[in-house]
Amino acid sequence: IGALGLTSRIWIANNQLTGTVPTEIEFMASLQEFKAQQNDFSGLLPSSICSLPDFNFAGSLFDCPLPFCCTGNLCGDPSCVISENYALESLYLSTNGSGWRRKDNWLNDSQPICQWEGVFCTSNFVTAIRLNNNRLDGTIPCEFFSNWTFLTELQLINNPDLTGTIPSEIAQLGELQRMDLLNNDLIGNIPSEIARLDKLFSMALYENRLNGTISTYIGGMSNLQEMLLYDNDL
């Protein structure tokens, strides 16, 4: 494949492909797009993929999270940020999106994400995500919290089969003001990293199965006006 030096686009989505992505891709100097979502690739992702203007590997399980697969060290470099599309797709795939009650336009590359069900935009920037009472079934992936520059509101309410922990990566949502993850089946500690969300004024996590102690750092958040945690195991 490395001999295809003039190829600018590779679209191989939805083909049930397995194995690793060949490292020879780095020799494809003209490549601009690599669409390979809904396959079953594994292993390490070649670092050259992250420099492409447009790439999509949603649905594959690599040895390190896709957002951190760049600049030589395939794991651990957060300087290569994934797109908002991929962040949303990671949530869709991790929570059985095909079984959602409402999923208009999700994974539809012909529609901008501002037209996806439950995604709300201001001036073409995603500012709110509301997927309430929508049959999310699975866990919240850490990749979901990458690259949200303007997100101020996150609502995942009343999804009884939404389980797992709250990823510490939620601290990347620097503009978040309102977080509603209530009436789900979330477990584990409330991550202390939430204290970094210095613009957060409302946090509702009640009616889950969260446990452990609440970090004193969270108690010291200066803008937090409302923290609702009842009906947990805290």
- Asked if residue 146 and residue 48 are part of one domain, the reply reads no
Q: Is the pLDDT of residue 215 over 70?
A: yes
- Asked if residue 35 and residue 127 are part of one domain, the reply reads no
Cβ atoms of 26 and 44 within 8 Å: the answer is no
Cβ atoms of 30 and 7 within 8 Å: the answer is yes
Instruction: Give residues with Cβ within 8 angstroms of 194, minimum separation 6.
Output: 166, 170, 171, 200, 203, 215, 218, 221
Read off the pTM.
0.68
If one counts every other C-beta atom within 10 angstroms of the C-beta of residue 122, the result is 11
Task: Count how many Cα atoms sit within 13 Å of the Cα of residue 176 in the half-sphere of its side chain.
Answer: 25
Distance from C-alpha of 39 to C-alpha of 13, rounded to nearest angstrom: 7
- Asked if residue 119 and residue 35 are part of one domain, the reply reads no
- Asked if residue 222 and residue 107 are part of one domain, the reply reads yes
Question: What residue numbers bound the domain in which 219 lies?
Answer: 82-234
- Asked if residue 173 and residue 159 are part of one domain, the reply reads yes
CATH code, domain carrying 194 = 3.80.10.10
- Asked if residue 73 and residue 33 are part of one domain, the reply reads yes
- Asked if residue 107 and residue 220 are part of one domain, the reply reads yes
State how many domains the chain has: 2
Tens of pLDDT, residue by residue over 104-156, are: 999 887 888 999 999 999 988 899 999 999 999 999 988 888 778 899 999 99
Cβ atoms of 142 and 169 within 8 Å: the answer is yes
